[in-house]
Amino acid sequence: EAFNTAVAEAAELNAFIVTTPDHALAAADAVDAKRARGEALGAMGGVPIGMKDLFATRGVQTSAASHILEGFKPEYESTVSQNLWDAGAGMLGKLNLDQFAMGSSNETSYFGNVVSPWRKAGGANTDMSPGGSSGGSSSAVAARIAPAATGTDTGGSIRQPAAFTGICGIKPTYGRCSRWGVVAFASSLDQAGPMARSVEDCAIMLEAMAGFDPKDATSLDMPVPDWEAALSADLKGKKIGIPKEYRMDGTDEEILKSWEQGKEWLRDAGAEIVDVSLPHTKYALPAYYIVAPAEASSNLARYDGVRYGLRDLPDGAGLQDMYAATRAAGFGDEVKRRILIGTYVLSAGFYDAYYTQAQKIRTLVAQDFANAFGQCDAILAPTTPTASFPLNSLNEDPLTMYLNDVFAVPASLAGLPAMSVPAMLNSDGLPLGLQVVGKPFDEQGVLDVGLAIQ
Ligand code: GLN
């Protein structure tokens, strides 16, 4: 009954693409059986989670919210989802997202917009964006339909939706979570992570998700610490860096106020606040919007009408016609835009002018962080330059939409662990998030600072 109520509520938010109640119930039954046998239940024993529909799930549609993968049921399970099932979790269903994880508002899904459960706070009957691309995840967790959900973050897609909906979400160090069986967007940036209501829940779930995987060549061969057991909000002796370049024109006053408040909380927790500089910050967003589409244009070449999902084969058509017809029908506008940008910046005449330059900037951004971490243990910044915005307000304006990622992409380019934690509500009653960025492999430091803010 509770499940049906939740499903009805979820239907209103359009958070799920498919529901899988049997999967969640089987995990609950497994917990009962283990309890009867006196066995350990597993760190996620019986917890019914939502799975972003970018993770391959055996026998369950894995669409990446696209038409081209509609109906695709993988023969295999992603490593991250398998790790969660091994820890005892069950799946409520596959969550909606921006198509192929490209977007910041969950308006590019083939299966329709996701609505934030905070929709009424934006004004009378205004449907607000839950953020993107993990908008089904943020919406379902914020609405208390699922206690936790998986997300993926290429350039902010865990942190920005978490900030927009008042929940927590952490992108670990690049390589912590296996990318095997995760539909690829930009492989050098893609990372999975948990989205949940508390820092503690994120720590538990990340522990279950993470771990070395020989099937992913970029997987980190490092032990997964017991982050949850070591959690501590005591920041005595810790230095928290405030990057001056994140005070940008166009940043909402209330966001700046929440940043000030965050510094106070961290001082109260015993930390010392220090100024740091990340001088190449303003180049990070343009570099991201070259690197990410470049990798996407290569990754998405596999959707050709032969190997997966949709095939559009007009009468009398040849192979090239089939490719063209399938892709024209199967990809949404934003995905096509990324493929066009990506193939352009990789083309022979423009490669050095765009792609090589962007890669150089990426190195400089990573060096900025390395220098700053000579003076501090973690960095505190806003997650986003604005609170959530109404659906259908920015979707005709891709550049403004891209600007929403301005504070999120630097940590992505540098592969660093970064978390968004709810800070406060603005004067419209909408949540604002604060972002904590840590040194490579220092998820613990990030979670601890998050705990002090929470
Ligand atoms: N919003 C960013 C983009 O559209 C980031 C997406 C993501 O992290 N998957 O590329």
Domain CATH number, residue 195? 3.90.1300.10
Per the structure, the count of domains in the chain is 1
Active-site annotation holder among 116, 157, 178, 297? 157
Spatial distance between the Cα atoms of 19 and 427, rounded to a whole number of angstroms: 36
pLDDT at 235 over 90: yes
Say whether 219 is catalytic: no
Minimum-distance ligand 1 atom for the alpha carbon of 185: 9
Ligand 1 pocket, residues with Cβ under 6 angstroms: 101-104, 133, 153-157, 185, 292, 405
Give the strand order in the sheet containing 168-171.
Answer: 16-19, 90-95, 48-52, 148-153, 191-196, 168-171, 418-425, 431-438, 378-382, 239-243, 272-276
Ligand 1 centroid to residue 344 C-alpha, Å:
19
How far separated are the first and last CA of the chain, in Å rounded? 32
For residue 251, count CB atoms less than 10 angstroms from its CB and return exposed for 0-12, middle for 13-18, buried for 19 or more: middle
Mean pLDDT of the chain: 95
Residue 158 sits in which domain range?
A: 2-230
Tokens representing residue 350 in the block: 């423009």
Ligand 1 centroid to residue 134 C-alpha, Å:
9
Compute the average pLDDT of residues 267-274.
98
Indicate whether 236 belongs to any domain: no
Query: For residue 122, what pLDDT is reported?
Result: 54
Ligand 1 centroid to residue 2 C-alpha, Å:
33
**Biggest CA-to-CA distance, the chain:** 72
Ligand 1, atom 10, lies closest to the CA of 102
Tokens representing residue 6 in the block: 């939740």
Say whether 412 is catalytic: no
Spatial distance between the Cα atoms of 392 and 125, rounded to a whole number of angstroms: 13
Ligand 1 centroid to residue 219 C-alpha, Å:
21
Spatial distance between the Cα atoms of 63 and 55, rounded to a whole number of angstroms: 9
Query: For residue 251, what pLDDT is reported?
Result: 83
- Reported pTM: 0.96
**All residues at 6 or more sequence positions from 195 whose CB lies less than 8 Å from its CB, including other chains:** 134, 137, 138, 141, 148, 149, 150, 151, 158, 161, 162, 167, 168, 169, 202
Minimum-distance ligand 1 atom for the alpha carbon of 160: 1
Tokens representing residue 200 in the block: 């503690």
Indicate whether 389 belongs to any domain: no
Indicate whether 169 belongs to any domain: yes
Mutate to test the pocket of ligand 1, among 154, 295, 388 (most ligand atoms within 8 A of CB): 154
Spatial distance between the Cα atoms of 131 and 103, rounded to a whole number of angstroms: 8
Indicate whether 128 belongs to any domain: yes
Assess contact for 396 and 175: CB atoms under 8 A: no
Ligand 1, atom 5, lies closest to the CA of 155
Q: What's the pLDDT band for 292 if we cut at 50, 70, 90?
A: very high
Mutate to test the pocket of ligand 1, among 405, 407, 409, 420 (most ligand atoms within 8 A of CB): 405
Ligand 1 centroid to residue 110 C-alpha, Å:
16
Indicate whether 27 belongs to any domain: yes
Residue 375, sorted as left (phi over 0), alpha (psi -120 to 50) or beta, turns out to be alpha
Indicate whether 178 belongs to any domain: yes
Active-site annotation holder among 78, 109, 129, 133? 133
Let me know the angle formed at the C-alpha of 140 by 418 and 109, rounded to the nearest 5 degrees.
Answer: 85
pLDDT digits (tens, 9 = 90+) for 332-380: 999 999 999 999 999 999 999 999 999 999 999 999 999 999 999 999 9
Residue 130, sorted as left (phi over 0), alpha (psi -120 to 50) or beta, turns out to be alpha
Say whether 133 is catalytic: yes
Q: What is the DSSP string of 279-310?
A: TTHHHHHHHHHHHHHHHHHHHGGG-SSSSSS-
Indicate whether 423 belongs to any domain: no
pLDDT at 294 over 80: yes
Indicate whether 269 belongs to any domain: no
Spatial distance between the Cα atoms of 134 and 208, rounded to a whole number of angstroms: 19
pLDDT at 113 over 80: yes
